[in-house]
Amino acid sequence: MYEDRIRLAALRDRVMSADEAACLVDDGMVVGMSGFTRAGDAKDMPAALAKRAAQHPMKFTLITGASLGHDSDKTLTEAGVLAKRLPFQVDATLRGAINRGEVMFVDQHLSETVEFLRAGQFGKLDVAVIEAVAITEDGGIVPSSSVGNSASFAILADKVIVEINLAQPLGFEGMHDIWIPGRRPHREPLPIVGVSDRVGSTTVKIDPAKIAAIIITDTPDSASNALPPDAETQQIAGHLIEFFQHEVKRGRLSTTLPAIQSGIGTIANAVLSGFLDSPFEHLTMYSEVLQDSTFELIDAGKMDFASGSSITVSQRMQDQVFGNLERYRDKLVLRPQEVSNHPEVIRRLGLIALNTALEADIYGNVNSTHVGGTHMMNGIGGSGDFARNASMAIFATKSVAKGGKISSIVPMVAHVDHNEHDVDILVTEQGLADLRTLAPRERVKLVIDHCAHPSYRELLRDYYQDALRYGGHTPHALERAFEMHINLRDRGSMLAGQEA
Amino acid sequence: MYEDRIRLAALRDRVMSADEAACLVDDGMVVGMSGFTRAGDAKDMPAALAKRAAQHPMKFTLITGASLGHDSDKTLTEAGVLAKRLPFQVDATLRGAINRGEVMFVDQHLSETVEFLRAGQFGKLDVAVIEAVAITEDGGIVPSSSVGNSASFAILADKVIVEINLAQPLGFEGMHDIWIPGRRPHREPLPIVGVSDRVGSTTVKIDPAKIAAIIITDTPDSASNALPPDAETQQIAGHLIEFFQHEVKRGRLSTTLPAIQSGIGTIANAVLSGFLDSPFEHLTMYSEVLQDSTFELIDAGKMDFASGSSITVSQRMQDQVFGNLERYRDKLVLRPQEVSNHPEVIRRLGLIALNTALEADIYGNVNSTHVGGTHMMNGIGGSGDFARNASMAIFATKSVAKGGKISSIVPMVAHVDHNEHDVDILVTEQGLADLRTLAPRERVKLVIDHCAHPSYRELLRDYYQDALRYGGHTPHALERAFEMHINLRDRGSMLAGQEA
């Protein structure tokens, strides 16, 4: 049975139920689990672990690539098994537990997690749980729709549990490029010099003896929950396309553009879709997650190649792409997230990095993670890997949220994930501010006039005038810096008190 | 004349006075000038430019490697010629003008400036002014005690002015390793895999026809103004040495340690000196600036090799090192700052990055630049290049300043240069907090108990208790977050109101 999926015959007797495999995990352990932006996550083990915990109370540290699908983080949170969770999540239930201080969440640059693991920072990795489409004759693990941290998890873990997912097509085989850096101090350069370069192996090579359990499952990935483009995200895309055209005219960019990184979510997806009706062509991506827009651009002949760590698409696109992987075979590669997010490659290729901001301030500092400065939304993800090392870091957001009660442009962000040094371009549906080469005082007018919603501009200008009393390179009136945030928290709107 | 210094005979007729050369600079230009942490700066041109401006009013953009010596920034500020200045400075007069909004200062990661220039972000570079010890037979420029951005300035500028400095020994020749990345999109890996690797040329190669003027000067570098170690910086060093020993015991570090980067200044210099009486040996540095401590460690046989972009030492050490360059020839290399600070090499080597904080908050966010959140001190320098990409980012500061009126540990830093994602270790004379793998709420107790001064601990604990009312991954009471800063600003002490 499963001869095409478990080709190393000696491993076939390790097939067992998820409930049996779950007994390999115990209290106090460190568990690495596949899954990156809802793609290629282990489908059966999370529920099995929750079930086991009901009989056998335990808490463990759970490390993934990025977010999981199938409400797995909800299931695990409700089971009370998560002592520590990293490096990223998008689950409402888990988010609540994090913000109540019940689950310790380590919000980490996605390129760094496996470096921490290798350095022994979390102790030893006890168990890895990896979704795969197959195990090859030589015991190599063939990942599915994401690589994430799976390869290093399997290499570093004492025991490996493989979830063979029959719902993931065997066509994924050959699409991965598994490159693992050498041990320091003798580490060689990462040899990727173009987005399509293949520099590693197509499978994760480990000692098959470490494979302690194989689970057979047949559950597709959760579909992407990115919303389709709307009027405002289309305006954001429009401003960016216009800006890129302007840069081409000035001779600072070519019409193929540098390779693009695009964060996950509705806005980034919409911006990329905006390239469909643009004069840009032969586009390439060197990104983390490949969303619907990537495949739209490939199908339209606009994009030549896309490198990512996962494929997270809508249900419609899942049917189209996963059912026709052959069609994309020479246009896609999936890499470990430390390679997709590696500062070395990001700087070398001179990426255009496009990520989403929760809020930005008048000087161009960006908060990507903390609602109201206190409550975790999802995590910094790869945005810090990219923004620091890219040749152009773009942050996009709608200028207001909650029907205008929240301005995304504030006097001072209440949490800083990306500081002024790293934020080159800020764009909202109102317009775009090119902050490069500008001192903080030069940035203020651009950010307020181009990016802030009209209903907040006077409030922001008043703040800046008041702040100038104190002088400085970056003027602030500290006693008022969070006035808008406090109004929102206590009175339900950042405009509270302004209506009169 | 100067046959040994200007070996390409055809260039000897370009020798002129600094006043004559200054006429090559005009209003609205962009000027790149050598100089990195007071080393290898142009000695005569700044004063000549100020003199020219008195007759011929002009303003220009001045880009350097990092800080200049000889009060050059003061001279230029007082002459009113600086429209824009980047990427770093340490001058009190210039600082004042920046904080009054008179000079637009672009505070930039030191690895990025030449990338911006290459991308045309500042328009064309009109003039480069480069200190050199010699021009070779083939017109190659031999830099002096720093490389900084000099090589790329010379390559990119329309016209190059060379200051041949007779006070800089010819022994510098051969000590530089000039590597310039290829043009994207076909950039190759930076091939440095060990700190002592030489991968480029020993001179800056440009078309000699671009050399429009040669000035002969005879002025030594300004000596370092780092203070000698004191009781508190020695305590900081002690905590760090103890921590490193602990990491060795746990098998996470070896006694040679990864290569060390060390920021400029008194604290970083003192910490490095602390290695003299430690069990660590065969140390190496991959850093920006090499200070006294580097040479003390080399002389003591503790350090095998040091790679930097400049040598900035005390008067005593200048006499000893510059007079005996032969002795250090096989133990030193000076590189362009985009190589010394390159994310690619920093991540590959897994550097220990040691930088100074102005203040840190209870969650481990660090402010390196803005006094009171508003007033620029020096700039972020290379700290962001290193902290983001290193394997271990350490930030050091004394726990209090101004006789206890300022706490370096605050509820929320009033400006963020390095966020919690990038700050691994925080150390003061009080102790050390290892923040790796910890969620924000887990960090608070460590930072307060280990790093804060006893006179501020209760105040910080009270703040955190209050902040918990609002919950969140990173609890804050926004209305009180800057209370200590405001007390300092308005009442002269962060403890104001606490004495009662």
Look at A478 and B482 and tell me if their CB atoms are within 8 Å.
yes
Choosing from B131, B173, B288, B420, which is the catalytic residue?
B288
Res B499: pLDDT: 61
Q: CA A463, A468, A471: angle at the middle one, nearest 5?
A: 140
Q: Which of residues 3-42 of B touch A (CB under 8 A)?
A: none
- Cβ–Cβ contact A423 with B under 8 A: no
Residue ranges with strand state E in A166-294: 211-217, 260-262, 283-286, 289-290
Residues B317, B437: one domain?
Answer: yes
Q: Which of residues 73-112 of B touch A (CB under 8 A)?
A: 84, 98-101, 104-109
Phi, psi of B222 (to 5 degrees): -65, 140
Look at A184 and B98 and tell me if their CB atoms are within 8 Å.
no
Res B10: pLDDT: 96
Residues A145, A241: one domain?
Answer: no
Q: In the predicted model, what is the mean pLDDT of chain A?
A: 96
Residues A195, A235: one domain?
Answer: no
Gyration radius from chain A CA atoms: 23
Rounded mean pLDDT, A116-138: 96
Q: Is the pLDDT of residue A256 over 90?
A: yes
To the nearest whole angstrom, how far is the Cα of A393 from the nearest Cα of chain B?
Answer: 13
Indicate the residue of A108, A251, A471 with minimum beta-carbon distance to B120.
Answer: A251
**Of B165, B183, B217, the domain-final residue:** B217
- Cβ–Cβ contact A123 with B under 8 A: no
Q: Is residue A402 part of a domain?
A: yes
Sign of the CA dihedral with B16 first, then B17, B20, and B21 last: positive
> Hey, of A100, A114, A420, A421, which one would you mutate to test binding to chain B, going by the most B CBs within 10 A of its CB?
A421
How far is Cα B315 from Cα B222, in angstroms, rounded to an integer?
8
Res B225: pLDDT: 85
- Cβ–Cβ contact B196 with A under 8 A: no
Residues B178, B273: one domain?
Answer: no
Is there a contact between A391 and A198 (Cβ–Cβ < 8 Å)? no
Residues A444, A367: one domain?
Answer: yes
> Hey, of B61, B118, B183, B347, which one would you mutate to test binding to chain A, going by the most A CBs within 10 A of its CB?
B347
Q: Is residue B226 part of a domain?
A: no
Q: In the predicted model, what is the mean pLDDT of chain B?
A: 96
Res A499: pLDDT: 60
> Hey, of A346, A348, A468, which one would you mutate to test binding to chain B, going by the most B CBs within 10 A of its CB?
A348
Return the closest-CA partner of residue A341 out of A433, A266, A261. A261
Domain hosting A314: range is 231-491
Residues A167, A242: one domain?
Answer: no
Is there a contact between B215 and B132 (Cβ–Cβ < 8 Å)? no
Look at A191 and B186 and tell me if their CB atoms are within 8 Å.
no
Look at A474 and B365 and tell me if their CB atoms are within 8 Å.
no
Rounded mean pLDDT, B270-281: 93
Look at A100 and B417 and tell me if their CB atoms are within 8 Å.
no
Show the DSSP H helices in B395-498 as ranges.
440-446, 454-468, 483-491
How far is Cα A224 from Cα A289, in angstroms, rounded to an integer?
11
Residues B312, B210: one domain?
Answer: no
To the nearest whole angstrom, how far is the Cα of A137 from the nearest Cα of chain B?
Answer: 33
| Torsion angle, alpha carbons of B296, B300, B304, B307, to 10 | 10
Q: Is residue B200 part of a domain?
A: yes
Look at A476 and B373 and tell me if their CB atoms are within 8 Å.
yes
Residues A348, A381: one domain?
Answer: yes
Q: Go through B171-190 and write b for each residue having 16 or more CB atoms within 10 A of its CB, e for each that does not.
A: bbbebbbbbbbeebbeeebb
- Cβ–Cβ contact B436 with A under 8 A: yes
pLDDT digits (tens, 9 = 90+) for B366-416: 999 999 999 999 999 999 999 999 999 999 999 999 999 999 999 999 999
Rounded mean pLDDT, A363-367: 98
Rounded mean pLDDT, B440-452: 98
Residues of A with a known catalytic role: 288
Residues A361, A298: one domain?
Answer: yes
- Cβ–Cβ contact B375 with A under 8 A: yes
Residues A130, A235: one domain?
Answer: no
Q: Is the pLDDT of residue B34 over 60?
A: yes
Residues B329, B433: one domain?
Answer: yes
Is there a contact between B496 and B487 (Cβ–Cβ < 8 Å)? yes
Q: Is A209 exposed, middle or buried (0-12, 13-18, 19+ CB in 10 A)?
A: exposed
pLDDT digits (tens, 9 = 90+) for B57-74: 999 999 999 999 999 999
Show the DSSP H helices in A188-265 as ranges.
231-249
Look at A473 and B251 and tell me if their CB atoms are within 8 Å.
no
Q: Is residue A1 part of a domain?
A: no
Chain mean position to CA B305: 19
Closest-approach residue (CA) in chain B for A483: B479
ipTM summary value: 0.97
Res A500: pLDDT: 47
Q: Is residue B291 part of a domain?
A: yes
Q: Is residue B121 part of a domain?
A: yes
Please name the residues in contact with A186: beta carbons below 8 A apart, sequence gap of 6 or more: B193
pLDDT digits (tens, 9 = 90+) for B130-147: 999 999 999 999 999 999
Q: Is the pLDDT of residue B500 over 60?
A: no
Domain count, chain A: 2
How far is Cα A227 from Cα B144, in angstroms, rounded to an integer?
58
Confidence of residue A227 (pLDDT cuts 50, 70, 90): confident
Sign of the CA dihedral with A247 first, then A380, A437, and A287 last: negative
Closest-approach residue (CA) in chain B for A421: B108
- Enumerate the residues of chain B whose CB falls inside 8 A of the CB of residue A187: 193, 348-350
Residues B178, B298: one domain?
Answer: no
How many Cα atoms occupy the beta-carbon half-sphere of A44 within 13 Å?
Answer: 23
Which residue shows structure tokens 């006890």?
A: A126
Closest-approach residue (CA) in chain A for B423: A108
**Of A217, A250, A275, the domain-final residue:** A217
Look at B472 and A370 and tell me if their CB atoms are within 8 Å.
yes
Residue A260, beta-bridge partner list: A285, A352
